[in-house]
Amino acid sequence: MEDFNAFGLPEALLKSLERLNFEKPTPIQAQAIPVALEGRDILGSAQTGTGKTAAFGLPLLAKLMANPKSSALVVAPTRELATQVMKSLQDFLGRNSPIKTALLIGGESMFKQYKQLDAGPRLFVGTPGRINDHLCRRSLELGSADFLVLDETDRMLDMGFSVQINKILKHLPKKRQTLLFSATLPEDIVKLANSYLYNPERIAVGSTRTPAVKIKQDLMRIPEASKYSELLEQLDQRQGSIIIFVKTKFNADKMAKRLRREDHSAEAIHGDLRHNKRERLIKTFRNSEYRILVATDIAARGLDIPHIEHVINYDLPQCPEDYIHRIGRTARAGAEGEALCFITPADRYKWNAIHRLLNPDAKEPGSGSNREAKRKRFGGGKRFGGGNKKFGKKPNFGGGFKKKGGKPPRKSDGEGRSEGGEGGNRRSGFKGRSGAGRPGFSKGRSGGSGRPGFGGGRPGGKRPGGRPGMKRRRAAA
Ligand code: AMP
């Protein structure tokens, strides 16, 4: 459908869409909204940033508006995603809506949530742990929740929430409408869908194996020891907001500190931070109060910040699917973005797993034993996949920037603690050696300034003018 008016949505929602400048439905919205409005269950998969929230949110709200006895529950894997979903749904509802809401996420005061629950909400959005907490304390009653959305279900299972989800589902009425969204559909999700969905309509928009088509992806094969100095080069060459993904919480903190010492405006976000702090960091990043967010995979999904122009995979993700989610932080809602991925020789197995996910029919990529920080086009310019009709263009792996040569490598970052999910029990997805400690590649400290981690300091100290969003000028060494 070309137009939101054609769906038969309530007038109040159409007005909100106009206010929010939603002119045309995205492909997932065009497919899912009419099916959901008919009352059918949906097993949906879509790329990140494609407008999934409105795809389930508009039918959900239409149902709540039509039936004052109905209530709805949206379950999401992380507090950030739940908060974001709630914000979108409240935007659609508008300020004066009589439909009350409750956001039930961990790390927030129970008192505040009791207050919301006491006010008689009909829309609940939350994370599995806290929803169960309220169910156990009987502060939450889901007997009339006849509309259920499980968002980013693969992520929830990855985080070990399957028992929690099963518990929650026992509290919902059997006769209900269920919409299950998942970026990937492995066997466990299909099993869950078979148990909990009734004759679902299968909706897939684009291939969930392919990142959004307006992301220009570059790979750089590089020794571990050269990564940090190359990162600084890249930060100099790029303009606009950047997310840098690293493997561990420890290294996220360390890298952000290190970049600040280099006079970049940078903050770190990871699962060890309190929810309030994470919220504050996301809000200030959204407001362009700083330029660089160093993140672990906790930030890989759900973050919807339209102005993120670059994603740098400093470390590869533990789970191949997270590669797609990470780079999906840029090129939101049809905008353009760039993603750069550092691949060290030790990353070979991980990269092969990502490559297999993206190109199930392609040959294994080369071994990548190139030890110089040499940028390489992957597979001779091979593209990762098909196009999305709406956004048209295919991903571009070519061209972009020139590498300035001749700088001595900085020290590599050390090994830190690994980022855990909120529920543990994470599926790994990679087999084989980690590569750490293999001959020829530095691990942890490798000479230089003698500080562990991100290596020798940039001479010259702080430079003036590190304002967010400004292109950084390199101080003379
Ligand atoms: P989502 O995938 O739901 O997180 O949405 C990604 C971004 O796209 C959000 O900023 C939405 O506000 C925006 N968006 C979703 N649908 C539309 C639409 N039909 N028109 C314009 N923007 C949209």
Q: How confident is the model at residue 299 (pLDDT cuts 50, 70, 90)?
A: low
> How far does the centroid of ligand 1 lie from the alpha carbon of residue 55, in Å?
9
Q: Which of 139, 173, 205 is the last residue of a domain?
A: 205
Does any ligand 1 atom lie closer than 6 A to the CB of residue 80? no
Does any ligand 1 atom lie closer than 6 A to the CB of residue 333? yes
Q: The domain spanning residue 72 has which CATH number? A: 3.40.50.300
Q: How confident is the model at residue 342 (pLDDT cuts 50, 70, 90)?
A: very high
Q: How confident is the model at residue 350 (pLDDT cuts 50, 70, 90)?
A: confident
> How far does the centroid of ligand 1 lie from the alpha carbon of residue 196, in Å?
28
| Shared-domain flag, residues 355 and 314 | yes
Q: Is residue 383 part of a domain?
A: no
Judged against a pLDDT cut of 60, whether residue 445 lies above it is answered with no
Sheet holding 42-46: strands in order across? 101-104, 123-126, 71-75, 145-150, 177-181, 42-46, 201-205
Q: How confident is the model at residue 19 (pLDDT cuts 50, 70, 90)?
A: very high
Q: How confident is the model at residue 150 (pLDDT cuts 50, 70, 90)?
A: very high
Q: Is residue 353 part of a domain?
A: yes
Q: What is the per-residue pLDDT for 239? A: 84
| Shared-domain flag, residues 201 and 54 | yes
Q: Is residue 210 part of a domain?
A: no
Return the residue whose CA atom lies nearest to atom 7 of ligand 1. Answer: 333
Ligand 1: residue of 332, 390, 391 to mutate (most ligand atoms within 8 A of CB) is 332
Structure confidence by residue, pLDDT tens digits, 313-327: 999 987 777 787 777
| Shared-domain flag, residues 364 and 444 | no
Does any ligand 1 atom lie closer than 6 A to the CB of residue 342? no
Which atom of ligand 1 is nearest the CA belonging to 52?
3
Judged against a pLDDT cut of 50, whether residue 391 lies above it is answered with no
Which atom of ligand 1 is nearest the CA belonging to 46?
2
**88-92, 190-194, 212-216, 288-292: segment of lowest average pLDDT:** 212-216
Which of 191 and 298 is assigned the larger pLDDT?
Answer: 191
| Shared-domain flag, residues 105 and 137 | yes
Structure confidence by residue, pLDDT tens digits, 182-193: 877 777 788 888
> How far does the centroid of ligand 1 lie from the alpha carbon of residue 88, in Å?
9
| Shared-domain flag, residues 59 and 84 | yes
Q: Which of 205, 240, 263 is the last residue of a domain?
A: 205
Q: How confident is the model at residue 383 (pLDDT cuts 50, 70, 90)?
A: very low
Does any ligand 1 atom lie closer than 6 A to the CB of residue 49? yes
Q: Is residue 51 part of a domain?
A: yes
Q: What is the per-residue pLDDT for 301? A: 60
| Shared-domain flag, residues 119 and 36 | yes
Neighbours of 164 (CB within 10 A): 20
Does any ligand 1 atom lie closer than 6 A to the CB of residue 22? yes
Structure confidence by residue, pLDDT tens digits, 25-51: 998 999 999 999 999 999 998 766 778
Q: Is residue 79 part of a domain?
A: yes
> How far does the centroid of ligand 1 lie from the alpha carbon of residue 68, in Å?
27
Q: Is residue 395 part of a domain?
A: no
Judged against a pLDDT cut of 70, whether residue 399 lies above it is answered with no
Does any ligand 1 atom lie closer than 6 A to the CB of residue 302? no
Structure confidence by residue, pLDDT tens digits, 204-244: 875 555 555 566 778 889 999 999 999 999 999 888 889 99
Does any ligand 1 atom lie closer than 6 A to the CB of residue 51? yes
| Shared-domain flag, residues 236 and 340 | yes
Q: What is the per-residue pLDDT for 211? A: 53
Q: How confident is the model at residue 431 (pLDDT cuts 50, 70, 90)?
A: very low
Number of domains forming the structure of the chain: 3
In the chain, the percentage of residues whose pLDDT exceeds 70 is 69
Return the residue whose CA atom lies nearest to atom 6 of ligand 1. Answer: 49
Average pLDDT over residues 44-71: 91
| Shared-domain flag, residues 27 and 131 | yes
Q: Is residue 394 part of a domain?
A: no
Q: Which of 205, 235, 270 is the last residue of a domain?
A: 205
| Shared-domain flag, residues 143 and 291 | no
242 exposure class (CB count in 10 Å sphere: 0-12, 13-18, 19+): buried
Q: What is the mean pLDDT of the chain?
A: 75
| Shared-domain flag, residues 53 and 156 | yes
The 3-class SS string of the chain reads CCCHHHHCCCHHHHHHHHHCCCCCCCHHHHHHHHHHHCCCCEEEEECCCCCHHHHHHHHHHHHHHHCCCCEEEEECCCHHHHHHHHHHHHHHHCCCCCCCEEEECCCCCHHHHHHHHHCCCCEEEECHHHHHHHHHHCCCCCCCEEEEEECCHHHHHHCCCHHHHHHHHHCCCCCCEEEEECCCCCHHHHHHHHHHCCCCEEEEECCCCCCCCCEEEEEEECCHHHHHHHHHHHHHHCCCEEEEECCEHHHHHHHHHHHHHCCCCEEEECCCCCHHHHHHHHHHHHCCCCCEEEECHHHCCCCCCCCEEEEEECCCCCCHHHHHHHHCCCCHHHCCEEEEEEECHHHHHHHHHHHHHHCCCCCCCCCCCCCCCEECCHHHCCCCCCCCCCCCCCCCCCCCCCCCCCCCCCCCCCCCCECCCCCCCCCCCCCCCCCCCCCCCCCCCCCCCCCCCCCCCCCCCCCCCCCCCCCCCCCCC
| Shared-domain flag, residues 422 and 459 | yes
The domain of 274 spans 215-368
| Shared-domain flag, residues 124 and 185 | yes
Q: Is residue 402 part of a domain?
A: no
